[in-house]
Every structure is written in structure tokens, then in C-alpha cells.
Amino acid sequence: MASVFDTMLDAEQVAAFLAYREGARSHDPYLPAMRDYLLSDRYPNDVARLRSGDYYFSVPVKKLIPKSYTDRKRVVYHFQKDEMSLLRMMAFTLHYHNGMFSPNLYSFRRGVSAKDCLNKMKHDLRLPSLPAVKADVQAYGSSIDIDLLIPCVERAFVDDPEFVAFVRWLLQRRTFFFDGQLMQGDTSALPGIPIHNLFTNLYLSDADELFSSRSVFYARYSDDIVMFTRTDGEAHACLDDLLALLERKHLSPHPNKTEILAPGAQFDFLGMSFCDCEIDVAKSSLAKLKRRTRMRALYLERDVRHLYPSREDKARRLIALTNRTIYGRPGTDDFSWSRWVFPVVTKTDGLHELDLYVQHCLRYLLSGKWSNARYRVGYKELKRLGYKSLVRAYFDEKER
């Protein structure tokens, strides 16, 4: 296979990347700048500089990004605009090396998705009768040990020393700006940069190799792992070995998400809740959507900019925002929440719960009250304003 830098310089690959970005979403805020840069003379010159060992990249900026409607924050690093465009092109190129990974790895691989994993689990009738091991890693992206990661990159790209040399330099700088100050310290695997997903896939690839052969079913999505075994004894042995592997990698298992499951027991994986042969939306996924809906309703009720003069206007706006989140933007082919969930779930309890909560927030906007007085607003009124039942949409999709 051609080296990473060779592929990045291929004009057809640049065109394929830009076409991919244009088709991946209806509005890509980075696309104009990327197109200008990748089609300019600067891009091939910059790739040639990296290839020759002239590592011109700026010092990255560290940022703390709030996680949606929580008090927690995510650490991300960001380079200058052209450098990020080059790294996005590099990430696109790296998908041609997906063959190095186990087929049981479902994260960040073009042509392979989490939905493939969930559908495989959904149709494997053996799994509800088998014990399982479920594991998750705390703060995985920012906990990767660089000194252990670099040998993983070297083994995976043994025939591409120029790319390995660039990655080694990139990870070993340990220099960044934070709050305007130049600092030295651990940057882990630079979460937030476009090629970070390669590092998260590689770092636990030995777990994929080990447990794929020892379990009836094994799947990993980044740091989210599930495996089914024939006996309880095998499940305990696999969990012990997995915990030992995580310790060697200097990773910490999530205490509430790492356990052995009895046959048919309920567990969450990739935002879904599994119990026996049924699949529903996980409570954690519902909580995020409900929290977002409530925050939007409170924001619209305040309406400090006076954009929505009547209560009906506020309710219509919440319906529009909720529909965009769940069904995507009208007239586009964006990958929406419903397109991810509808083909997978077999139960509608979670969808019904979310329906009721959206109705709850709409009645609040229309009545101005969270109390039972909001029930003076009937369901027909919500439908008149454009509300669409998620459960009804699910069954309509099934019929189609």
C-alpha cells in the first residue's frame, strides 16, 4: 500500500475527500477553507515538508469544551486552520489502512458503523442465553500513554517510516498553549485533532486480538467493550484479563460500567439498552435529549431578545429545534438521531418516554406553568402547531 504522504498528494484522493465532505452533511463550516487550502500550492508544499522531516506545525491550543448540558468538560487540542485541514485530509487517507484492525472494531472506520454492530447483536439469537462482560474506560481519549501508543503506531505502519516519524514528533512535543500561556505537560494523544481516532483505535487493538478469539461474540467501539462467553468461568477469566490489560495500558475502568452480566441481564451499549432479545434507547441517551429539550424550553420562555412574541411562536420554535435534532434538517440527507435509532430498537418505551417529555415542555411554553395546569393544553393543540409523535414516526418508518 502507498505511504500516507503519497496518498495525500494524489489529486484524485483530494477530490474524493472534498466530495466526501460535501456529501457528508448539508452544512460543513470547515469546507470553504479546506477547499481553498487543499487546492492551493501551499498544500503539496506542506505535505512535502512533513515528509522530509520539516515539522513546521504550530504549538497546539488546549481548550476545555463543556459536555452537553453537564458540568463536565472535554479536553481538546486545536492547530491553526491550514494545519487542521491537512490533518483532516490525513485522517481521510488513513481509512485506507482499516484492514489493520479487527473486524470486531466498529469505531471511526469508513464503511463500518456502530449500527452494524448493533444489528449484528440484534440478530445473534445466542447472546441472550450467554453470560457477558461489559467494560468502559474513564476519560479514555485523554488517558492514553504516549510512550505506549508510539510502539503501536510503529508496528501498524512499519512500512511507512516517514509517517511514523511525524506521529512520533507530534505526540512527543508535550507543548501547548492554555489560556494564552505557553505550557509544558502531558498532551496524551491530542484529543480533538482529526487523527486522534486512529490512536484510540490502535491503543486497544491488542484487546481486540485477544478477546475476539476467546469469546462467542466480541465488539469494541473506541473504549466501549462487550463480549459474550460460553460459561460464567470464562466471563470471569476474560474480565480479569481485561482489567490486567487496562492496568498495563495505564487506563482506569469505569466502576459503574465494568461488570459481568448474567444471561439476559439488562446492559447499555452504544446508547442502547439491551435486555433479553429486546433493544430500547438507553436511559442515559434519553436523559441527554430530555435535558436539551428542557434547556431549550427555558431559554425560549426567557426570550431575552424578544424573537418570539407569542407563546405559540415559542412552542413552534421548540418543535422545529426538536425535529431538527431527531429527524435532521428538512430537505437534507443529514444523518439524524432517528436514522440511527429507528432501525435498531425493537421496543418503543424509550421513544414514548421522550414523546411525553417533549409534550411536557411544549405545554409549559403554551401555558407558562410546570404544574398540572399545563394539561389544559390538549394534544390536538400540539399537533396543530406541528408536533410529530416519535412513536408514530417510528411505526411509519417500519411500514415504509
pLDDT band at 334 (very low <50, low <70, confident <90, very high): low
pLDDT at 358: 96
- Beta strand 267-269 with 272-275 is antiparallel
Residue closest to 30 by CA, chosen among 99, 111, 108, 89: 89
Lowest-pLDDT range of 107-116, 166-175, 251-260: 107-116
Q: What are phi and psi of 310, to 5 degrees?
A: -115, 165
Please state the pTM of the whole predicted model: 0.88
CA quadruple 263, 264, 266, 272: dihedral sign: positive
Extract the runs of DSSP E, i.e. beta strands, from 267-385: 267-269, 272-275, 278-281
What lies within 8 Å, CB to CB, of 240 at 6+ separation is: none
Q: Are 229 and 132 in contact (CB under 8 A)?
A: yes
Q: Residues 118-155: pLDDT tens digits?
A: 989 989 989 999 999 999 999 999 999 999 999 999 99
pLDDT at 70: 58
Q: Are 337 and 273 in contact (CB under 8 A)?
A: no
Q: What are phi and psi of 381, to 5 degrees?
A: -65, -40
For a pLDDT cut of 70, what percent of the chain falls above it? 96
pLDDT at 328: 83
Q: Residues 16-61: pLDDT tens digits?
A: 999 988 876 557 888 999 999 999 999 999 999 999 999 999 999 9
**Which set of grid coordinates corresponds to residue 270?**
452504544
- Amino acid, res. 268: D
Cα separation, 243 vs 223, whole angstroms:
13
Q: How many CA atoms are closer than 13 Å to the CA of 2, on its beta-carbon side? A: 11
Q: What are phi and psi of 173, to 5 degrees?
A: -65, -45
pLDDT at 356: 95
Cα separation, 88 vs 376, whole angstroms:
52
Cα separation, 103 vs 218, whole angstroms:
10
Q: In this structure, how many other beta carbons lie within 10 angstroms of the beta carbon of residue 94?
A: 23
